[in-house]
């Protein structure tokens, strides 16, 4: 009877042992991960989707509720946030569709992605999972850096986007504001000054936050051609936080500790937030980044295009990713070293936020041009 559970339980024991001494606020997260490992074979066999926590932001959320939810699988739905407004979100999806479906290839190529990670990325030009899907992702994207203090773009824009500068700038600033609310929650839970993280993510500073418009074209390909194809290969995000805005069409999948992929639901008018690798590393694994992907759709959805918009929050470029001074930190050195090992960073290495990003971006694009 217990043979089915023996391997997962061994993995769970190993995982649980590695989290001994952690602060009690996050104990539920580690317990749930252990349980997921233990019951993975009999239960997850029939599970098709994840129950991602959601928090109502119409009133000031409890910081511990946010913190514990994000310490689960690193994903959280935010409902009823006043920024960005739903009207602004709808306007962004409208202009995104106008660009991807209405702009000429000639104009898109004039603003191809640069070494600064700004501009248009064509179909298959990006490969987020070079090992599993070397042919590249079946998607287009457009990366926008922050605008100047007076709301002007800091990169060339194609005609279909240049006429929407005010909308894009307002949306980007709204995303940053919402991100700051989340960072304050994390700081409060870790007993740090409220501005510990926000002061290291200053919007008007030299920083590498990116607003990304995403377009996944219809995928009417035969079953025998689907092998090895993906809309967005398996990856974890590079920065601190990601805000994802989706429409009704799904496709996002999250990977559990046992390797199984589960569908992430689409919640109307909600923002899906996830932790990035930088914050996972910075927090010593307290807030985990989770591997995810966008799978090819089947059935009627295969003939439909998918749109999403992501805001990737990064710290100010020259912020040093030094150990967070957490009060009463009982974290053992073994756990800290495991985080360094997971991200391929030497324990004594000094690294800025920009150096972190450059290291992660290098293998992602097949070609990028100088600005």
* Residue range 251-279, pLDDT digits in tens: 899 998 888 899 998 898 999 999 999 99
pLDDT at 245 over 50: yes
Question: Sorting pLDDT into bands at 50, 70 and 90, what band is 335?
Answer: low
Helix, strand or coil for residue 317?
coil
Q: Are 21 and 331 in contact (CB under 8 A)?
A: yes
Q: Which of 31-35, 66-70, 97-101, 352-356 comes out lowest in average pLDDT?
A: 31-35
* 201-215 per-position pLDDT tens digit: 999 888 889 999 999
Mean pLDDT rounded to a whole number for the chain: 81
Angle between helices 86-102 and 165-189 (to 10 degrees): 130
**86 versus 298: which is more confidently predicted?**
86
In angstroms, the CA 307 to CA 351 distance is 35
Q: What's the whole-number mean pLDDT along residues 106-115?
A: 93
Question: Sorting pLDDT into bands at 50, 70 and 90, what band is 344?
Answer: confident
In angstroms, the CA 52 to CA 73 distance is 8
CA atoms within 13 A on the CB side of 370: 0
**30 versus 73: which is more confidently predicted?**
73
3-state secondary structure 86-106: HHHHHHHHHHHHHHHHHCCHH
pLDDT at 70: 87
- For the question of whether the overall pTM of this predicted structure is more than 0.75, the answer is yes
Helix, strand or coil for residue 313?
strand
The 261-263 sheet, strands edge to edge: 232-235, 292-294, 252-255, 261-263
pLDDT at 222 over 80: no
pLDDT at 332: 55
Strand 54-56 to 306-313 pairing: unpaired
Structure token pair of residue 220: 């009417």
Burial label, 252 (beta-carbon count in 10 A; 0-12, 13-18, 19+)? buried
pLDDT at 14 over 60: no
pLDDT at 163 over 90: yes
**265 versus 230: which is more confidently predicted?**
265
Q: 285 — alpha (psi -120 to 50), left (phi > 0) or beta? A: left
* 82-96 per-position pLDDT tens digit: 999 999 999 999 999
Distances in whole angstroms, Cα of residue 82 to Cα of each of 62, 106, 361? 17, 38, 32
Cβ atoms within 10 Å of 171's Cβ, excluding its own: 24
Q: What's the whole-number mean pLDDT along residues 27-45?
A: 43
Q: What's the whole-number mean pLDDT along residues 94-104?
A: 97
**CA nearest to 63, candidates 225, 197, 247:** 197
pLDDT at 59: 84
**CA nearest to 369, candidates 135, 107, 127, 110:** 110
* 111-131 per-position pLDDT tens digit: 999 878 899 999 988 878 767
Residue spans per domain, the chain:
1-47, 49-361
Fold of 49-361: Jelly Rolls (2.60.120)
In angstroms, the CA 216 to CA 140 distance is 6
**CA nearest to 246, candidates 178, 308, 304:** 308
pLDDT at 55: 93
pLDDT at 367: 44
pLDDT at 330: 57
Question: Sorting pLDDT into bands at 50, 70 and 90, what band is 29?
Answer: very low
pLDDT at 282: 87
pLDDT at 2: 33
Structure token pair of residue 55: 């928090």
């Amino acid at each position: 009877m217990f043979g089915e559970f023996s391997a997962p339980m061994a993995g769970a024991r190993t995982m649980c042992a590695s989290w001994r001494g952690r602060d009690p606020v996050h104990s539920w997260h580690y317990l749930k991960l252990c349980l997921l490992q233990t019951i993975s074979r009999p239960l997850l066999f029939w599970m098709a989707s994840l129950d991602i926590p959601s928090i109502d932001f119409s009133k000031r959320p409890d910081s511990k509720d946010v913190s514990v939810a994000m310490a689960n699988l690193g994903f959280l739905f935010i409902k009823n946030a006043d920024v960005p407004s739903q009207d602004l979100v709808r306007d962004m999806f409208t202009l995104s569709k106008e660009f991807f479906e209405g702009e000429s290839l000639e104009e898109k190529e004039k603003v191809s992605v640069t070494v600064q990670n700004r501009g248009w990325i064509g179909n298959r030009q990006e490969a987020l999972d070079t090992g599993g899907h070397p042919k590249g992702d079946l998607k287009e994207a457009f990366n926008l850096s922050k605008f100047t203090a007076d709301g002007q773009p800091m990169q060339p824009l194609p005609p279909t986007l240049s006429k929407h500068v005010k909308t894009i700038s307002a949306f980007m600033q709204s995303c940053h504001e919402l991100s700051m609310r989340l960072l304050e929650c994390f700081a409060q839970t870790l007993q740090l000054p409220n501005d510990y993280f926000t002061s290291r993510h200053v919007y008007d500073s030299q920083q590498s936050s990116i607003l990304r418009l995403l377009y996944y074209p219809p995928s009417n390909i035969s079953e025998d051609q689907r092998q090895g194809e993906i809309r967005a290969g398996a990856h974890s995000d590079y920065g601190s936080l990601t805000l994802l805005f989706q429409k009704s069409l799904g496709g996002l999948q999250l990977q559990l500790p046992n390797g199984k992929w589960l569908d992430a639901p689409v919640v109307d008018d909600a923002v899906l937030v996830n932790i990035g690798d930088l914050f996972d590393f910075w927090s010593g694994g307290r807030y985990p980044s989770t591997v995810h992907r966008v799978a090819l759709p089947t059935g009627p959805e295969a003939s439909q295009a998918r749109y999403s918009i992501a805001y990737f929050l990064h710290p100010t470029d020259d912020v040093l990713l030094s150990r967070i001074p957490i009060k009463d930190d009982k974290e053992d050195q073994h756990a800290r070293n495991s985080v360094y090992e997971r991200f391929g960073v030497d324990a004594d290495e000094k690294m800025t936020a920009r150096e972190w990003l450059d290291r992660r971006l290098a293998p992602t694009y097949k070609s990028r041009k100088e600005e």
